[in-house]
Amino acid sequence: MTRAELDKRPADVATMFDSIADRYDLANDVLSLGQDRLWRRATVRAVEAYSGELVLDLAAGTGTSSESFTGKGARVIACDFSQGMLRVGAERRGGASRRGVTFVAGDALALPFNDETFDAVTISFGLRNVHDVDQALRELHRVTKVGGRVVICEFSHIPFGALDKVYSTYLMGALPRVARLITSDSAAYEYLSESIIDWPDQPALAAHMQEAGWKRVAWRNLTFGVVALHRGFRAQ
Ligand SMILES: C[S@@+](CC[C@H](N)C(=O)[O-])C[C@H]1O[C@@H](n2cnc3c(N)ncnc32)[C@H](O)[C@@H]1O
């Protein structure tokens, strides 16, 4: 069985993602009923990276989203601590540095970048898996230039009781069973469901961001709040 527990020990999380790396993107499409593509497009629009800008895509995994940030000429550093996810990403692109995206191994809790390096930092479906969320938010703030922005795309909570109940039933019942058919590893997806249910809601995550130093924090819900996009700015 390959799964992390909710204490999210870094070695367990990295091993779990190593083990599902090959079929990770296919599983996303199926389990989200294709919604993941809409969520990724919304994230790219929120980051709005322009030519000459440098973007950090943290917990980039196989780099599924990373290349879309280069659309207007920005360069992207895709950083992750799972060697398996990085390997699959680099193999698919024919190298670790291609078409404006460079893969770099690194831990969100101690990023291998100087202060004020990036114009924009973003993390999609990664923050929930990090052992110390507040430390990761501080590290993202540290490596962002003054005036730069953060965009966090993460599973969240549906603010309507009845709909949230239906969604929780899907998460705990059907999702791990379908995932087993695709990845032969339902354990990693049981962790996914539990970690989503355990994750702070939209206002609580915004409060964590403010504590880490981010200003003008705001969010918007996607697919009724299944996913939320949080944004903030570095002021000093
Ligand atoms: C669900 S995947 C998301 C991948 C990608 N961002 C996407 O949207 O498909 C979560 C990723 O977070 C990475 N991760 C978790 N904790 C991390 C940490 N402390 N430092 C760097 N990456 C981490 C995992 O290795 C995994 O690739």
**CB 64, CB 126: distance < 8 Å:** no
Helix/strand/coil percentages in the chain, nearest 5: 50, 25, 30
Provide the pLDDT confidence category of residue 185 given band limits of 50, 70 and 90.
confident
- For residues 38 and 141, give the distance between their C-alpha atoms in angstroms, rounded to a whole number: 26
Domains of the chain: 10-233 (3.40.50.150)
Q: What is the mean pLDDT of residues 87-112?
A: 93
Mean of the pLDDT values across residues 7-12? Answer: 85
pLDDT (average), residues 22-48: 90
Cα(160) to centroid(ligand 1), Å? 29
Cα–Cα distance for residue pair 218/194, rounded to 1 Å: 25
Mean pLDDT check: name the lowest of 51-65, 115-129, 154-168: 154-168
| Mean of pLDDT values over 216-222 | 97
pLDDT at residue 2, as a whole number: 66
Q: Separation of 145 CA from ligand 1 center, angstroms?
A: 23
- 66-90: pLDDT as tens digits: 999 999 999 999 999 999 999 999 9
Provide CB contacts within 8 A for 121, sequence distance 6+.
55, 56, 58, 140, 143, 144, 148, 149, 150, 151
Q: Which atom of ligand 1 is nearest to the CA of 60?
A: 6
Residue type, 133: V
**R_g (Cα) of the chain, nearest Å:** 17
65 CA: nearest ligand 1 atom: 8
* Protein residue whose Cα sits closest to atom 26 of ligand 1: 61
Residue 17 Cα to ligand 1 middle (Å): 8
Q: How confident is the model at residue 189 (pLDDT cuts 50, 70, 90)?
A: confident
Please tell me the distance between residue 42's alpha carbon and the centre of ligand 1 in angstroms: 19
Mean pLDDT of 151-167: 92
Q: Please, are residues 108 and 59 in contact by the beta-carbon 8 Å criterion?
A: yes
Extract the annotated binding site for S-adenosyl-L-methionine.
62, 80, 107-108, 124
- What pLDDT was estimated at residue 4? 78
Q: In the sheet where 227-233 sits, what is the strand order?
A: 97-98, 101-105, 75-80, 54-58, 118-124, 144-155, 227-233, 215-222
**Which residues line ligand 1 at a C-beta cut-off of 6 Å?**
10, 13-14, 17, 59-61, 64-65, 80-82, 85, 107-109, 124-126, 129-130
**Section 120-141 average pLDDT:** 97
Rounded distance between C-alpha atoms, residue 229 and residue 180, angstroms = 28
Separation CA 207–CA 181 (nearest Å): 38
Opening angle at CA 232, ends 227 and 236, nearest 5: 160
CA–CA separation, 90 vs 87, rounded Å?
Answer: 5
Annotated binding site: 62, 80, 107-108, 124
Better-predicted residue by pLDDT, 210 or 9:
210
